[in-house]
Structure 1
Amino acid sequence: MIRFAFLVATFITGATGAAAQDLTVRSGEHEGYTRLVVQVPPDTGWVLKQKKNGARLNVALKDATFQTGSVFQRLTQNRLAAISQAEPGGVLELEFGCDCVASAFLFKNTMIVVDIAPGTFLPPLTSDIPAPIFPKNLKENEKSAPKQSIDALALPLLNLNANGFEDQLSARLLQGADRGIVDLNISPVGPRASAGNQSQFMPPEVELNVQVTSILDELNGLLGPDIPMVKRRPPCISSAELAFDDWSDDRPFPEQAAQLRSGLYQEFDAIDKKRALKLAKLYAHSGFGAEAISALDLLGEQSLEAKRIAAIAHVLDKGPLTEDNPFQGLQRCDGDAVLWAALSEGHLQEDANLTAIEQSFARLPDHLRRHTGPALSDILVSGDKLEAARRVLRSVDRVRTQTSASVVQAKAKIAAAERDALRTANLLTEVIETSDATLEAPLALARLIDKRWLERGSVSPQELDLAESYTVEFRRADIGPMMQRTHAVALSLSQEFDASLELVTELPEDAESADALNRVVSILTERADDATFLHRILSLPAAQSRGLTTDTAIAVADRLIALGFSRQAYALAKRPQDRLRRGKRARLRAKALLLDQRPHQALLELADNQTDEANMLRAEALIIAGDYAAAGDLIRSSGLVDDANRLFWLADQPDHADLEINAKFNQVVVTTQHLTDGTARLPETPLADAENLLRDSAETRQRIADLFAILSQD
């Protein structure tokens, strides 16, 4: 990055009299430099002066106070050691913790950006710079040469070292930027590729470490979300340039269309292109998108204006554009174009001018408001602008003459976004029952069935019959496959699994069909009886089995293990295409292996799994392998002390048992230890020895009875 010693921006006249205010100082850490940003009012004068291991920032605001409390919260390097202001209105003192220099520039006329980067401090440039020494041949021809061009440059070239040339050039460029002469965008600190060969502009004795490049699109954010990114954007289209209101006049549509069509063809069937363009505008303004595109086809080569008309016509008939959109990226603008930008893109951008969109929509004719209102409401709902969506639909309600299925469906989407399940279901049912519903009714039914599936509810017999009838009615339409998928899911929710899976088998192999299959199989796994579940899952074709998602395959494998089908469950848990939920799939494979009495392989599956469930499976594998002591140690670490004591008892290692708790196998271990104790013999006194043996035998029988009683407890 170009280093410079200081930046001086001319104070704006009258700025010194600005009112006292707080100036927030934000900070950010970047690779190779530390950045500070001071938010100031527009046209505020400022000066940054360098000093040894520091810098001073002064702004032309009376009693201005720099708010620096949060500066060091985001800094991780030691480039900035201290920052302070002695009194309100004073300079902002910056002290560096490294051999650094500061550079600054003005961003969007409201932000002073100061970068602190490693570098060598240079004393300020003075007017004592020696005059340039030019070659003799230049002096001989100076009368014929344009002397004014050299004097106007006023930069020493041949006798100035690289750093000096760098500083001079930086100061001149940045002064021009602050005065609004040039638009300069500073790239982050660090190396960057040259924009081309600059040797023809550089003196031969100067090292090529100075580059003048165009870097307008290299500013990748200053401090993150607080400062907007500077990027190339298409120019806005004003309302006067689009002139949508002038595409039609107050005369009836038939009269206007007849006049334009009557003079459309000239001598030798030549097309009057002006009339064709006006006719296309009239069709688009009246809501006839296909007719407008047909009129534009008469023009042959499409101009920019024709492309805008075609885009609006496409939106009116077919919805959002996928490519070649002349309104792309204009949602930030003002005027009528912002509305068509939102409708043509089909979603709301982060920088969308919501006020301009609503105002432009309100200026539309009544018939276009009725036509585009539901689509605009859907876009606003997707952008989480529910109140704006409600305002749009209220505007449609004011101009509609009868209940519209599309409007009711848009209201249902708002209710769904608000998580009002009852209102959503009622509105979708209303759409289905609306008399003017054509495509809206089957779409509403599809959304209703989808809602039922998400809630794991059920469908009524009427909804199931309606889904079947729509499947037959629209079998050759574009929504035919969607209605078939809806019918299949509805059948599964009604627990008609055989018919549902047979219907899924008839679907084309695509992502939507795979989603329907997963929904049906999920309901089958959750609700079907054991016989139906096993019959449908074990006879599932290989292609459909591969189409199951990871979550669905895990659910199916879990139920198969519960029913004892280890081989099929292991295959579902070890599919090569699955990459998610590795731990859960490994535990399922271990369960399947334990069902097959393969404990050592199960332990290998659980090698990298340290969850509580995995520890229990690992202990079960050790028990099957006969290593009761290791299983007891593992279970005791999980807090199951009594179960661990049982395993230590089985391993004949009572010394490892924890006898501090009063539990079942604590008593078993104690009783067993007493049974294994030896009997004291008295050989010198045979009668006393015999009496002792009888007493010990009675005690042993009692302990055995107590042991059986303890073991028989639940």
Structure 2
Amino acid sequence: MMRWLLAVLLMSGAAQADVLVRSGEHGSYTRLAFDLPTARAWRMGRVADGYALRLDPAVTLDMSRIYRRIGRGRIAGVGVDAATGDVLLRLGCACYATAFESRPGTVVIDVHPGAAKPGSRFELSLDPPPPPKPVVRTAGYDWTDITRTPPDLPMAPALDPFRDAVLRQLAAGAARGVVDMVDRPPPLPPLPLPEQVRIAEEPGFVADPDQPLTTDGLACIPDADLALGDWGADGPAALTLASGRGGLEGEFDRPDPEAVTRAIRYHLFLGFGAEARQIAQVYAPNAEGRALWSDLGHLVDAEEATAGILPPMAGCDGAAALWGILSLPRPQPGAPENAGAALQAFTALPQHLRRDIGPMLVERFTARHDDASAMRVRDAILRAEPAPDAPLRTLTAAPGAEGDSALAAIVAEGGRDTDEARITLADRRLSARQPVDEPTRLALEALLHEARGGPDEARLARLVALARAATQDFDTAFAEAPASTEAELWAWLAEAGGDDAILTHGVLADGTARPIVPREVRLAMARRLTDLGLPDPALRWLDTDPAAAPEDERLIAARAHLARQDGLDAQRWLGGLDTAEATALRTAAARQLAGPSAEVSVPTVAPAQPMTPLAQGRALTADSDAVRQQIEALLTR
């Protein structure tokens, strides 16, 4: 008996266990999942401030973990009606909800932004209004009491001749075979019944298995919705623009969807992205359509897409790949991108669109280190436009003297479109340690003033600092240059700076950390300071460990120690080096240690004959013995 009682208690506890409500964000929608213990009837509909889910029978829900994975942007609150047990869903945006059963016992609610589809059963009230009260009829005149049988009246005598004439003509027609006498006419075909069957998407099944999808499961935008090259009109744009945007409003000033779509597409074909976005904002009723037109309009105007509908399409196989890559300034980690499909779609565009979006596409491929695709885009632009404008000529200018001459020719033409050519030419010359003229420096400073706070500020600040360094104005260059440009300024100072600039900036004060520059720049600064007779400041640019320093740095350090009259440290830095320069420096160090009147013989090493390890050890021993004898001679004086 106790065993049966324990089993009943366990079953009762399992039946009363709370049902966990799971949640998750899925990009364009927010999802709630109710894992019910058993399959049961459910119904969802509209209530005063959102939606309500009714389960039959009701269960106890655990909703403590709902907002761990989602925010309150779409689902502002979830609760349970104490009276009815309904799950109340309060929305925090202009959204709509749909529900389906993914598997028996699992009810899923998805909240999407925008307006619900027409005829959605979830937009109906969960509790329909009560039926109207029956109308109480009052007694009155009842016309149904009149007999419905028409009176059997004899035919008027005036119709008899007409009837006889018709019968004679019908008989004559039948005799000639032109009239077929039948008992009654054939019945009329039945009227078609009104359409009552409504077919919706089956949860868990894909409507079109062959439809291409992204890695996130989103449907790729069809090529027909991105075929900008097919949206033009016959004739010049000046003559077809009015007809292309005509008829936007029909009867009662209501927008005509076909005319609105035609106008938006025609403006995108012409490259008028701002105008297309304006028409879509005013007339397009579909929020998803407005988002697509908005992104396309921004990209056609060489601007960043903001709606976010195109970035997931970068991995699709059709034209969607082109616009998806254009909408991503930098690749998304782990997200595939179909560069081949993007190039194919780009070459299918008309010439003027290739010229407009070509520079942006080259920047996208360059940011992805896909130089081959960038070159193919450039070739497609050149094929499309035999006489490119200044920005395109700047983009396609080859490196080297020929490209610099082409950029100089663009700058000489003048105009605002030549600013990029001026910046590119200055960047090439300054990066090659070539000075720029005074007008170019002044133009760069003016462009920097205009670009304050913009994306080009750092690039122009670097060029202005290098241009000032080219004119030996290192004080202003170091004072105003960004931190990312200091290494280039030190390289310019070490290579082309005057002696005054070397003394001002190269002699580091006590306690000042050595600038973080490439090793070649450090060695060049140490060499310049040593040549100026400043070995101590030169040594601050070098490492302090001879064993870890490369050969060229050891030679420069030995030369600096010789300038300090420190032959011992010079020989310490030269230990193990057998080059001709090292031998000469070792001889100078030995003479410095022996005094001006001593004759010192330093063994030389023939570089052409490689030494065995035993011979190298003997040579090092001989060198150390000679140095020890010289030191003892100095100490006994």
How would you bin the TM-score normalised by the shorter chain?
0.3 to 0.5
Q: TM-score, normalised by structure 1?
A: 0.42
Q: TM-score, normalised by structure 2?
A: 0.47
